[in-house]
A and B are shown apart, each in its own frame.
Chain A
Amino acid sequence: LAKTTQPISMDSYEGQEVNITCSHNNIATNDYITWYQQFPSQGPRFIIQGYKTKVTNEVASLFIPADRKSSTLSLPRVSLSDTAVYYCLARNTGKLIFGQGTTLQVKP
């Protein structure tokens, strides 16, 4: 399974765009990049998944360059309620391995 590396923490202010980058240098050909969000006292929640280029949904965008060794989760105009831990995963077989995640703190 590909190991992922992401910043431990980030701070932002309401209304700003937040980009969280994840490194996955040994990603396998069959791996997809998946991001989850976790609020305190809740289980993780799926945000977005992609294989390459750009994927966008109502919550976020995911940018994956051609070499697929990294990916960037983009959250447009964050609010206080986006304060959470964000996990980047590389998966293919269905087995989900979570790293330490990035704790995003959004300030007023």
Chain B
Amino acid sequence: DARVTQTPRHKVTEMGQEVTMRCQPILGHNTVFWYRQTMMQGLELLAYFRNRAPLDDSGMPKDRFSAEMPDATLATLKIQPSEPRDSAVYFCASGAFSRHTEAFFGQGTRLTVV
């Protein structure tokens, strides 16, 4: 059963520390999304990639966030330095995209910055 895998599932860190979240998209999917979800803001699109190239990262705070796809099996989202306001659930999703196809979401990484 193909699925998007995110690690870690939970992360508690101190303010100022670097946080790296990882995502393994479904094999063969060429599009990857990163989202952040909070009660206040809902689901926010941070960045998305197609064929490993970033297409849109306008939703991401550039000074502290970075997203990369080192290869087709790994996407990373990094926060450096982390702040308490970054506390949220971060979701990765992948799809084999044309406009007719769906996105599959991972279980998310719950980040708490204290």
Contacts and interface: CB of A to CB of B under 8 A. Distances in A.
B106 interface: yes
A69 B31 CA distance: 28
Contacts of B42: 98-101
Interface residues of B, number: 25
Interface stretch (A16-24, A58-66, A71-79, A88-96): A88-96
Interface in B96-113: 97-100, 102-108
B101 to A, nearest CB: 8
23 contacts: A34-B102, A42-B105, A43-B4, A43-B91, A43-B106, A43-B108, A44-B103, A44-B105, A45-B105, A49-B102, A93-B99, A94-B31, A94-B48, A94-B95, A94-B97, A94-B99, A95-B45, A95-B48, A95-B55, A96-B45, A97-B45, A98-B35, A98-B43
Interface residues of A, number: 22
Nearest to B48: A95
Nearest to A93: B99
A11 to B, nearest CB: 20
A44 B107 CA distance: 9
B93 interface: yes
Contact of B43 (A44, A46, A92, A94): A44
Nearest to A101: B42
B99 A46 contact: no
Contacts of A81: none
Interface of A: 30, 32, 34, 41-46, 49, 87, 91-101
B103 A46 contact: yes
B14 interface: no
Contacts of B93: 43-44, 96
B99 A96 contact: no
B68 to A, nearest CB: 19
B18 interface: no
